[in-house]
């Protein structure tokens, strides 16, 4: 799977050889950098647990940035922001 957003590319697959071949082919036409395993992209943080086959996405940092932009970074969390009735 190839995910492209402007100048960011994320390649995902279960065949490392095919991924390397695709990167080599793309680098013939485009200037590319390979920073290795991805930890964040497009405001999302990614975590992988290969041993347990788990993968998670988080937008915690992005949400904190938005809260700060609107002066809500000191807000206290509540379970239900409205009355339950």
Span 14-62, pLDDT tens digits:
899 999 999 999 999 999 888 888 888 888 898 988 899 898 999 988 8
Do 25 and 52 have their domain in common? Answer: no
Can you give the C-alpha Rg of the chain in angstroms? 19
Domain with 18 in it = 1-36
- pLDDT for 48 equals 87
Q: pTM of the full predicted structure?
A: 0.59
Do 2 and 31 have their domain in common? Answer: yes
Report if residue 85 sits inside a domain. Answer: no
Do 69 and 43 have their domain in common? Answer: yes
- pLDDT for 3 equals 87
Do 26 and 56 have their domain in common? Answer: no
Split at pLDDT 50, 70, 90, the class of 4 is confident
Do 23 and 43 have their domain in common? Answer: no
CA distances for 33 relative to 7, 8, 14, 54, 66, angstroms: 11, 10, 21, 27, 29
Between 83 and 52, residue with greater pLDDT:
52
Report if residue 80 sits inside a domain. Answer: no
- Tell me how far apart the 2 most distant CA atoms of the chain are, in Å: 62
Q: Number of folded domains in the chain?
A: 2
Do 31 and 50 have their domain in common? Answer: no
Helix (H) or strand (E) holding 56: strand 54-58
Do 54 and 69 have their domain in common? Answer: yes
């Amino acid at each position: 799977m190839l995910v492209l957003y402007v100048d960011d590319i994320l390649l995902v697959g279960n065949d490392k050889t095919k991924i390397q071949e695709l990167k080599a082919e793309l680098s013939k036409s485009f200037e590319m950098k390979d920073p290795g395993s991805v930890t964040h992209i497009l405001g999302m943080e990614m975590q992988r647990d290969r041993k347990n086959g788990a993968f998670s996405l988080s937008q915690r940092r992005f949400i904190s940035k938005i809260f700060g932009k609107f002066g809500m970074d000191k807000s206290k969390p509540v379970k239900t922001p409205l009355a339950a009735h």
